[in-house]
């Protein structure tokens, strides 16, 4: 092997994956100095990091195009193998799906190290894991329990899995007193917890145990080593660390606790571990299949007291450490004191742990990885990719337009988003509406998943304004949302339409199910439940559809919640009654006419049928969508939505114009859900057909999307494109683009010709 590429977070980024990628790459490079080992680093910020020359290319976590560019770099540089570090949270897209765009295009064998393996994944995580395991030639896990989950939950064959322990530093087996003088703790018993600090670490339970430990061993000092996790720091600052400091003072152990708020180097870490007598991992989550910190300390021959998360159960079995129940300070105290009372037991544990640790030091682990790399290459019928081979349009996924939000930002102010525009200029005279602010808030949440926004052009600052508009729109007395507001912030009605009310619920449900902002989620939940009560009395079928979509989003966070489940069943029954009343052999629809947002009927039933496990509901959703797609297609193969200039009544003439962007968006959403339900590639083709309508594949051959402004025209007339770029249409395009980016990982790649 001449070129070995590694992909993942990388130092100096502060996270465990970055440290692992660095240590693995350097260890492999030392084992085979003749090889060219290089790194592709994943950035979580636009400016990146001050990387070493080992990093040859970078990709931005939430920028889908950068993943494809990274694949091109790897192909043109003829990497012999790609070693991917996988953790759901470090890649962009739903459940880290952006990574799949890279894996679909690379031409070399892929070895993926799985740092997290979930026994109960979400639907999105399961889809990503299915693709990830399929597109990886070998899968590396760090514990036998991880291999079991891969076999049992994801049906990965055993012969594709390699168990390689987490690499560790090679620390000499010395008495802890050798290192203590350097830290000013000579003569004291040192308890240690280290790693990036966040609430899931359970450090508070150790502090609660300290009074009893100190009573029996007054020389004890508890060292908490590590910086606050960057994501925790960005969202909540030092709240958790400060709460731990207050707890130590309240429990009277402030003289026995040291917080060292630093991300330490490997060399410094050796010294801290060397000075340790007992290591503590009081983690709160059992479903942790790998802990690098546990591996480091255990392999250094230290005694460990830990809660029984998966990795600890495996590593500390057979009396190689002490396991204590979760969230049990008393048990922690007994575990620590039991060890400190029995020095001979501690010494025996240390010796056995250190012996096992010799198989975990980085040189040994690097050799195991090299064997896996060679295995992956021999498994693969590998043909090197010639320059530009497979670059025809027919052999590559279609490219999507880059995200450009400046028109949406121009249309927004501190109150919300304006309804209409005159050309590409906001029309203040027409004010605002709940419909568009709901759409804008949904867009913010989708963009937060798929990414692609630059700091200079981001809607994140406007999301709060859109949500605040929805909060102000709700009349708490009646439980109804108002719709229209003047530029002077005066409501123009006591209650909006049923459709606008249901769109607000849809947006709020999306906030509950998808927002990463806790304040947003809680407000959305409150508003959603307050506005839900009146829906049962609604008579608009489209309001039923929008409400069902909102319920589906809400139940992403609260699956099976009783009130929403009952209402969903009621609304689905109403839609099925419409089907029974109106559907015939040649009119497979829910009403006597096709009007607006038609595909939302199909989408609502497809999602509800899957969630409720009602095959008939799902079948009707798919059947009606199939019929609708056949109607909304020209002989030339273009998408042609039902025109709003008369719509289409049964046994009447259909209106072909004015074609509205909302119809293309609805069709894209419904087709993606149909594909998710059936895995029938035909649905992805229909979604692409509908999206290309925006770009000029339509009756007039004219684009509605304006690449220069980021706006979208209000409609396609029989002889021209509308010159105005209002909120509804522009949001429809950007929602469609986000849907296409979000579902990109569901679209299988076109075959590449030999």
Inside any domain, residue 400: no
Q: Give the span between the Cα atoms of 617 and 607, in whole angstroms.
A: 9
State yes or no: pLDDT of 244 exceeds 50. Answer: yes
Average pLDDT over every residue of 573-584: 98
Inside any domain, residue 669: yes
Q: Give the span between the Cα atoms of 707 and 725, in whole angstroms.
A: 12
**Does one domain contain both 628 and 502?**
yes
Where are the alpha helices (H) located in 396-477, listed in sequence order? 406-410, 434-450, 460-473
**Does one domain contain both 28 and 139?**
yes
- The pLDDT of residue 457: 65
Inside any domain, residue 401: no
Q: Give the span between the Cα atoms of 116 and 287, in whole angstroms.
A: 9
**Residue 332's CATH number:** 3.40.50.2000
- Give me the percent of the chain exceeding a pLDDT of 70: 95
260-277 confidence digits (pLDDT tens)? 988 777 778 888 899 999
Average pLDDT over every residue of 417-434: 97
Inside any domain, residue 426: yes
CB 214 within 8 A of CB 198: no
**Does one domain contain both 628 and 509?**
yes
- Beta strand 432-433 with 3-8 is unpaired
Sequential DSSP letters for 703-717: -SB-TTTS-B-S-B-
State yes or no: pLDDT of 389 exceeds 80. Answer: no
State yes or no: pLDDT of 83 exceeds 90. Answer: yes
317-374 confidence digits (pLDDT tens)? 888 999 999 999 999 999 999 999 999 999 999 999 999 999 999 999 999 999 999 9
Average pLDDT over every residue of 570-596: 97
**Does one domain contain both 489 and 627?**
yes
Q: Which of 22-36, 138-152, 612-626, 730-744 has the lowest mean pLDDT?
A: 730-744
State yes or no: pLDDT of 286 exceeds 70. Answer: yes
- The pLDDT of residue 184: 80
**Does one domain contain both 198 and 265?**
yes
**Does one domain contain both 198 and 231?**
yes
- Beta strand 303-306 with 648-649 is unpaired
**Residue 500's CATH number:** 1.50.10.10
State yes or no: pLDDT of 381 exceeds 80. Answer: no
Does a cis peptide bond (omega within 30 degrees of 0) precede residue 658? yes
State yes or no: pLDDT of 751 exceeds 50. Answer: no
Other CB atoms within a 10 A radius of the CB of residue 40 amount to: 25
Residues with Cβ within 8 Å of residue 501, at least 6 apart in sequence? 434, 480, 481, 495, 531, 534, 535, 538, 543
- The pLDDT of residue 291: 85
State yes or no: pLDDT of 510 exceeds 90. Answer: yes
Average pLDDT over every residue of 224-230: 88
127-142 confidence digits (pLDDT tens)? 899 999 999 999 999 9
Number of domains composing the chain:
3
CA quadruple 405, 406, 408, 414: dihedral, nearest 10: 120
State yes or no: pLDDT of 390 exceeds 70. Answer: no
Inside any domain, residue 172: no
Angle at 402 between CA 408 and CA 659, to 5 degrees: 60
State yes or no: pLDDT of 545 exceeds 70. Answer: yes
State yes or no: pLDDT of 544 exceeds 50. Answer: yes
Cβ-based burial of 111 (10 A; exposed 0-12, middle 13-18, buried ≥19): buried
Inside any domain, residue 752: no
CB 554 within 8 A of CB 534: no
Q: Give the span between the Cα atoms of 731 and 675, in whole angstroms.
A: 23
Inside any domain, residue 42: yes
Inside any domain, residue 270: yes
- Sorting pLDDT into bands at 50, 70 and 90, what band is 430? very high
Where are the alpha helices (H) located in 474-614, listed in sequence order? 498-514, 518-532, 541-557, 562-582, 599-612
**Does one domain contain both 89 and 162?**
yes
**Does one domain contain both 197 and 311?**
yes
**Does one domain contain both 610 and 471?**
yes
619-639 confidence digits (pLDDT tens)? 999 999 999 999 999 999 999
Average pLDDT over every residue of 38-46: 94
Examine the fold and report which residue of 360, 381, 416 is the final residue of a domain before the chain moves on: 360
On average, the pLDDT of the chain sits at 92
- Sorting pLDDT into bands at 50, 70 and 90, what band is 467? very high
> C-alpha distances in angstroms, 188 versus 185, 199, 277, 335?
6, 27, 9, 18
**Does one domain contain both 105 and 236?**
no
Nearest one of 516, 387, 509, 383 to 447, comparing CA atoms:
516
**Does one domain contain both 577 and 722?**
yes
357-366 confidence digits (pLDDT tens)? 999 999 999 9
State yes or no: pLDDT of 469 exceeds 70. Answer: yes
690-719 confidence digits (pLDDT tens)? 999 999 999 999 999 999 999 999 999 999
State yes or no: pLDDT of 747 exceeds 80. Answer: no
* Domain coverage including residue 255: 177-360
- The pLDDT of residue 745: 47
- The pLDDT of residue 386: 44
Angle at 379 between CA 373 and CA 383, to 5 degrees: 95
Average pLDDT over every residue of 23-42: 96
**Does one domain contain both 734 and 642?**
yes
């Amino acid at each position: 092997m001449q070129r070995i590429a590694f992909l993942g977070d990388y130092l100096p980024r502060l996270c465990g994956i970055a440290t692992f990628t660095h240590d693995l790459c350097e260890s492999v490079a030392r084992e085979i100095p003749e090889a060219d080992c290089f790194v592709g680093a994943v950035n979580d910020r636009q400016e990146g990091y001050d990387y070493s020359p080992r990093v040859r290319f970078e990709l931005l976590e939430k920028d889908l195009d950068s993943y494809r560019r990274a694949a091109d770099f790897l192909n043109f540089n003829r990497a012999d193998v790609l070693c991917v570090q996988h953790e759901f949270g470090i890649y962009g897209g739903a459940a880290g799906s952006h990574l799949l765009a890279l894996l679909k295009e690379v031409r070399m064998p892929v070895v993926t190290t799985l740092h997290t393996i979930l026994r109960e994944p979400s639907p999105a995580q399961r889809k990503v894991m299915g693709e990830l395991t399929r597109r990886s030639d070998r899968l590396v896990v760090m514990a036998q329990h991880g291999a079991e989950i891969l076999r049992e939950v994801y049906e990965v064959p055993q012969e594709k899995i390699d168990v390689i322990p987490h690499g560790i530093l090679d620390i000499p087996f010395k008495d802890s007193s050798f290192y203590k003088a350097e830290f000013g703790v000579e003569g004291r018993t040192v308890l240690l917890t280290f790693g990036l600090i966040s609430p899931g670490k359970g450090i508070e339970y150790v502090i609660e145990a300290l009074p009893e430990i100190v009573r029996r061993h007054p020389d004890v000092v508890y060292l908490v080593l590590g910086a606050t996790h960057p994501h925790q720091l960005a969202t909540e600052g030092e709240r958790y660390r400060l709460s731990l400091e207050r707890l130590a003072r309240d429990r009277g152990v402030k003289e026995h606790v040291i917080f060292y708020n630093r991300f330490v180097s490997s060399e410094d870490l050796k010294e801290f571990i060397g000075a340790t007598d007992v290591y503590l991992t009081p983690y709160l989550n059992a479903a942790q299949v790998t802990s690098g910190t546990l591996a480091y300390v255990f392999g250094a021959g230290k005694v460990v007291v830990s809660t029984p998360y998966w990795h600890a159960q495996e590593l500390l079995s057979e009396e190689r450490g002490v396991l204590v129940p979760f969230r049990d300070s008393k048990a922690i105290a007994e575990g620590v004191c039991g060890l400190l009372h029995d020095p001979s037991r501690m010494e025996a544990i240390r010796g056995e742990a250190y012996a096992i640790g010799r198989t975990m030091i980085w040189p040994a682990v690097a050799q195991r990885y090299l064997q896996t790399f060679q295995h992956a290459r021999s498994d693969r019928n590998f043909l090197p990719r010639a320059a530009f081979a497979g670059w025809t349009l027919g052999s590559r996924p279609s490219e999507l337009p880059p995200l450009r939000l400046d028109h949406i930002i121009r249309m927004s102010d501190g109150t919300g988003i304006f309804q209409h525009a005159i050309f590409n200029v906001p029309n203040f005279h027409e004010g605002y509406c709940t419909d568009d602010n709901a759409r804008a808030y949904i867009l913010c949440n989708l963009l937060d998943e798929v990414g692609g926004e630059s700091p200079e052009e981001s809607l994140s600052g406007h999301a709060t304004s859109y949500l605040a508009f929805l909060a102000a729109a709700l009349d708490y007395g009646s439980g109804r949302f108002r719709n229209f507001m003047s530029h002077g912030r005066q409501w123009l009605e006591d209650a909006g339409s049923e459709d606008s009310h249901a769109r607000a619920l849809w947006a709020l449900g999306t906030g509950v199910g998808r927002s990463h902002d806790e304040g947003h989620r809680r407000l959305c939940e409150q508003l959603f439940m307050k506005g839900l009560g009146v829906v049962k009395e609604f008579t608009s079928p489209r309001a039923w559809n929008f409400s069902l979509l909102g319920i589906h989003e809400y139940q992403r966070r609260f699956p099976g919640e009783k009130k929403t489940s009952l209402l969903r069943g009621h609304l689905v029954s109403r839609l099925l009654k419409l089907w029974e009343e109106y559907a015939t052999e040649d009119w497979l629809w829910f009403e006597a006419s096709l009007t607006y947002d038609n595909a939302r009927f199909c989408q609502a039933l497809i999602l509800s049928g899957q969630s409720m496990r009602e095959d008939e509901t799902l079948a009707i959703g798919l059947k009606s969508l199939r019929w609708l797609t056949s109607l909304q297609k020209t002989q030339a193969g273009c998408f042609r939505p039902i025109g709003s200039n008369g719509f289409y009544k049964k046994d009447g003439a259909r209106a072909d114009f004015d074609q509205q962007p909302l119809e293309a968006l609805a069709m894209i959403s419904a087709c993606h859900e149909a594909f998710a339900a059936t895995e029938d590639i035909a649905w992805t083709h229909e979604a692409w057909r509908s999206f290309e309508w925006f770009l000029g594949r339509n009756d007039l051959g004219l684009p509605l999307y304006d690449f220069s402004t980021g706006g979208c025209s209000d409609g396609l007339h029989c002889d021209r494109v509308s010159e105005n770029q209002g909120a509804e249409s522009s949001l429809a395009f950007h929602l469609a683009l986000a849907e296409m980016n979000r579902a990109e990982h569901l679209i299988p790649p076109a075959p590449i010709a030999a």
